[in-house]
Copies of this chain bind each other. A is one copy, B any other.
Amino acid sequence: MSTQQEADAAVGIHADLGWALTTVLRAYGRAADCAVADLPGGSRGFRLLSATAHDCPRSQLALAQHVGLDRTVVTYLVDDFVAAALVTRQADPVDRRTWRVVVTDIGRCRLEQLEARLRRVEDEVLRPLGRQDSAQLRALLRRVAVSTAGGEPVATSCGDVTRLSGPGPA
């Protein structure tokens, strides 16, 4: 990682490596957070809505485990989603303890809108590279991402960095 001063200097020197990673990360992360800010729960809400929309209807617990959220959080988020008419809770005929969370047309529409926004954020972030280098960067990132998500979890100095199970801004 770099220092603040190095970062400032880097505009002239461009020497530090970690600084680049961090800067891009933060730029994208912020913009992505921002893009989904008007959805209840922000980026976590986006992950949940995504999972809800693209999987066949599941219980809240299943959703929670799938996107790595606590049960209680999912309750709150689904409450908000229902209030915003993005999803509905439908009784599960076989297990009356659980709800099946189902996306509405409004929810699907909203999700597409958010996905479009996030695509735009990406393009914006990667704009400085040309078309070709942009593709190159994406390819390299994809390789990292695949092994990060599918292979070994990223080992770090503390234990809670688990294997990432999915996408989500920031």
Contact = CB atoms under 8 A, between A and B. Distances in A.
A95 interface: no
A18 B144 contact: no
Nearest to A22: B167
A167 B53 contact: no
A142 B23 CA distance: 9
Interface residues of A, number: 83
A133 B60 CA distance: 41
B122 A17 contact: yes
Interface in A2-31: 2-8, 10-11, 14, 16-31
Contact of A166 (B4, B29, B34, B150): B4
Contacts of A124: 154-156
A59 to B, nearest CB: 15
- Interface of chain A: mostly helix, strand, loop or mixed: helix
Contact of A8 (B28, B142, B165, B170): B165
Given A24-B145, A29-B170, A170-B25, A5 B55 contact: yes
29 contacts: A1-B32, A1-B167, A3-B51, A4-B50, A6-B54, A6-B167, A7-B149, A8-B166, A10-B146, A11-B149, A14-B142, A14-B146, A17-B138, A19-B145, A19-B167, A20-B144, A21-B141, A23-B148, A24-B144, A25-B25, A27-B161, A34-B156, A34-B161, A35-B158, A37-B158, A128-B147, A128-B151, A129-B140, A137-B137
